[in-house]
A and B are shown apart, each in its own frame.
Chain A
Amino acid sequence: MGKTVVLGVIGADCHAVGNKILERAFTDAGFNVVNIGVMCSQEEFINAAIETNADAILVSSLYGHGEIDCRGLREKCDEAGLKNILLYAGGNLVVGKQEWSEVEKRFKEMGFNRVYPPGTSPEVGIKDLKHDLGIED
């Protein structure tokens, strides 16, 4: 049976185009995609992951407030019993041009398993997710 991923755009962020493209790409790659859409709170990601027994949560943030919006998500997942669920983040996570390695480090410290710089194609995420979930291509 296909693995389930929860997909959404976090915070007060309404950029909807990338979200649709990601839904399509991950579905075509064989994942059962639960797309909660734009403007989602951390709680909505978590509740969706609980009910659907998801294997990973894919967070997008495009509008620059990603760091604030994503803070505490890992801790809340732990609290909610989503032990070791994979957390990925991508989009335009921070404002302006910042040193990527620094940004990546900060998100990893927040408990994200994978963090992607602006313009990353969905295929990169798909490949990593298959690897992390032990799915053969």
Chain B
Amino acid sequence: MDAALLIDFGSTYTKLTAVDLENEEILATAKDLTTVNTDIMIGFNKAFEKLKEKIDISKVNFVEKLACSSAAGGLKMIAIGLVPELTAEAAKRAALGAGARILGVYSYELTKHEIEEIIEKKPDIILLAGGTDGGNKDCILHNTKLIAEYIHDVPVVVAGNKNAQDEIDAIFNDAHIYHKITENVMPRLNQINVEPARKVIREIFMEKIVEAKGMKKAEEFIGGILMPTPAAVLKAARILADGTDKEEGIGELVVVDIGGATTDVHSIASGEPSKAGVTLRGLQEPYAKRTVEGDLGMRVSAMSLFEAAGTRKIKKFIPDTKYDIEQRCKFLQQNVNFVPEKQEDIDFDEALAMVATDMAMERHVGFIESVYTPMGIIYSQVGKDLLNVKYLIGTGGVIVHSKNPKKILSAGKFNSETPNYLKPMDPEILVDKEYIMSAMGLLAEKYPDKAVRIMKKYIVKA
């Protein structure tokens, strides 16, 4: 039987998913600890042994072996632009959509101090933007010169003012800086253009970063490490929403992915105002948008979640807990491998997951503001209107393994107490039961139709 082996070299676990390509079924999944510090293949082989116990390997022919990775810190990026709300924000969104972890966002002309800070942060790639096409060149040229002078070993993606490209190219060539030039992330004011930059970031990830992170060896056995894990999830979300030429998608959706350190939200939706008479303001939003909340997580970020939410907000989701909220969050942060078994511990984890969902959604979706005038109220909207999105999908350990995924995800729905946040009003709630979204993002590279059909089969009503 022809099958695909899909591999996610995660920060903690290396997860394998075996897919029967003919019957479009998940054959088995298995995982073991990621071993990027010694030899990435050790962890892989252990997981593979476990997989072999679950399927009759003699009957399976893996015609496809594809991988994504967030091991060794993931794809770490710095985004640089001119105005914070404009090109710097556009650059940040491009990097997030490429599956990166953003170490810092910088705007205006860089200082030497900031350059030192960037060097200290050890990014894998720098995304350099600034100016609309035909607009400001001074800033991006200044920043180019500083990078050329002080930062030598970090690949740079240039996605700024078209009219500065030739000069930037010459400066980086002279300084022997590895760089790629692509289309501007904001070619015209407020108009966003993130796909070309995302594509180039991924190229560099495959060409250089995989090797730099000591994962080249894995490529001898598998076809290639194609993208960072979050990019695979975004890809899966997008193809599930839009479908393919042959296979219909399910329509606009939001994916909430809660992890130990971060909570990711992906929305595949235009986000246009759903009500008449609303003016849309600010930078255009990407159709496929990813946001990452580095302070909202179940373990590593349990304390920062506590600090962001506060006792009262968490208590709202778990009024009768015997735990002191702060102490409990501290405990969870210090015991990152803690797996809850007692009901009260499960309940506490689920309450944290609800807070993470609520807050991450609030930060992801658009916001509506009313302006009072003598002729009544006028509305202006910043960000995406997701009120009418059809599906809210949950993935990530705490949701996938929960008995109450619906309860957790409902915290991400529209709330009449905070009606200015344009969260989904009445979405159908689905759960990625087999935890296959990143695997399906990979499969979609070669078999998009199959990926859509398999997701429709395995991502089920919560």
Interface segment, A43-51, A70-78, A116-124?
Answer: A43-51
Which chain A residues numbered 1 to 16 have a C-beta less than 8 Å away from chain B? 1, 4, 12, 14
CB-based contact A47/B135 at 8 Å: no
Which chain B residues numbered 76 to 110 have a C-beta less than 8 Å away from chain A? 82-83, 85-87
- A75 → chain B, closest Cβ, in Å? 18
Q: Which of B87, B130, B189 contacts A34 (CB 8 A)?
A: B189
Which chain A residues numbered 48 to 91 have a C-beta less than 8 Å away from chain B? 48, 50-53, 63
Give CA–CA (A52, B136) in the complex, Å.
Answer: 6
Give CA–CA (A72, B371) in the complex, Å.
Answer: 21
Q: In chain A, what residue has the closest Cβ to B131?
A: A51
Known: A4-B134, A39-B279. A51 touches B371 (CB 8 A): no
CB-based contact B189/A48 at 8 Å: yes
- A121 → chain B, closest Cβ, in Å? 26
Q: In chain A, what residue has the closest Cβ to B375?
A: A14
Judged by a CB distance under 8 angstroms, whether B380 is at the interface is yes
Give CA–CA (A48, B87) in the complex, Å.
Answer: 10
Known: A38-B279, A51-B83. A12 touches B137 (CB 8 A): no
Give CA–CA (A8, B380) in the complex, Å.
Answer: 15
The interface size bin for chain A is 10 to 19
Chain B residues within 8 Å of A39, by CB: 279, 281, 371, 378, 380
CB-based contact A51/B135 at 8 Å: yes
CB-based contact A51/B134 at 8 Å: no
CB-based contact B186/A12 at 8 Å: no
Chain B residues within 8 Å of A36, by CB: 189-190
Judged by a CB distance under 8 angstroms, whether A111 is at the interface is no
Chain B residues within 8 Å of A1, by CB: 134
Judged by a CB distance under 8 angstroms, whether B373 is at the interface is yes
Q: Which of A14, A32, A37, A52 contacts B378 (CB 8 A)?
A: A14
Give CA–CA (A1, B83) in the complex, Å.
Answer: 24
Give CA–CA (A56, B132) in the complex, Å.
Answer: 16
- A128 → chain B, closest Cβ, in Å? 23
Give CA–CA (A88, B348) in the complex, Å.
Answer: 59
Chain B residues within 8 Å of A52, by CB: 131-132, 134-136, 189
CB-based contact B137/A53 at 8 Å: yes
CB-based contact B378/A12 at 8 Å: yes
Q: In chain B, what residue has the closest Cβ to A2?
A: B134
Give CA–CA (A50, B317) in the complex, Å.
Answer: 45
Chain A residues within 8 Å of B85, by CB: 43, 47
Chain B residues within 8 Å of A43, by CB: 85
Q: In chain B, what residue has the closest Cβ to A6?
A: B189
- B34 → chain A, closest Cβ, in Å? 41
Known: A12-B373, A38-B279, A39-B371. A51 touches B132 (CB 8 A): yes
Chain A residues within 8 Å of B186, by CB: 51
Chain A residues within 8 Å of B373, by CB: 12, 14, 63
Chain A residues within 8 Å of B279, by CB: 14, 37-39
The interface size bin for chain B is 20 to 34
CB-based contact B86/A12 at 8 Å: no
Chain B residues within 8 Å of A51, by CB: 82-83, 86-87, 130-132, 135-136, 186, 189
Q: In chain B, what residue has the closest Cβ to A40?
A: B281
Give CA–CA (A66, B281) in the complex, Å.
Answer: 20
Chain A residues within 8 Å of B87, by CB: 51
Residue among B189, B279, B373 with max Cβ neighbours from chain A (10 Å): B189
Known: A14-B373, A34-B189. A53 touches B135 (CB 8 A): yes
Chain A residues within 8 Å of B281, by CB: 39
Q: In chain B, what residue has the closest Cβ to A14?
A: B378
Q: In chain A, what residue has the closest Cβ to B84?
A: A47
Chain A residues within 8 Å of B371, by CB: 12, 39
CB-based contact B189/A53 at 8 Å: no
CB-based contact B86/A47 at 8 Å: yes
Q: In chain B, what residue has the closest Cβ to A43?
A: B85
Give CA–CA (A14, B85) in the complex, Å.
Answer: 22
- B86 → chain A, closest Cβ, in Å? 5
Chain B residues within 8 Å of A38, by CB: 279
- B47 → chain A, closest Cβ, in Å? 48
- B6 → chain A, closest Cβ, in Å? 41
Give CA–CA (A32, B373) in the complex, Å.
Answer: 32
Give CA–CA (A12, B370) in the complex, Å.
Answer: 10
- B142 → chain A, closest Cβ, in Å? 12
Q: In chain A, what residue has the closest Cβ to B279?
A: A39
Which chain B residues numbered 296 to 313 have a C-beta less than 8 Å away from chain A? none
Chain B residues within 8 Å of A32, by CB: 134
Q: In chain B, what residue has the closest Cβ to A47?
A: B83
**30 pairs, CB–CB < 8 Å, chain A vs chain B:** A4-B134, A12-B373, A12-B378, A14-B373, A14-B378, A32-B134, A34-B132, A34-B188, A36-B189, A36-B190, A37-B279, A39-B281, A39-B378, A43-B85, A47-B85, A47-B86, A48-B189, A50-B82, A51-B82, A51-B87, A51-B130, A51-B131, A51-B132, A51-B135, A51-B189, A52-B131, A52-B136, A53-B134, A53-B137, A63-B373
* Chain A residues proximal to chain B, CB less than 8 Å: 1, 4, 12, 14, 32, 34, 36-39, 43, 47-48, 50-53, 63
Beyond A37-B279, A39-B279, A39-B380, 13 additional contacts (C-beta under 8 Å) are: A1-B134, A14-B279, A14-B373, A34-B188, A36-B190, A47-B83, A47-B85, A50-B83, A51-B87, A51-B186, A52-B134, A52-B135, A53-B137
- Give me the 5 closest cross-chain CB pairs, A-B, nearest first: A52-B135, A53-B136, A47-B83, A12-B371, A53-B135
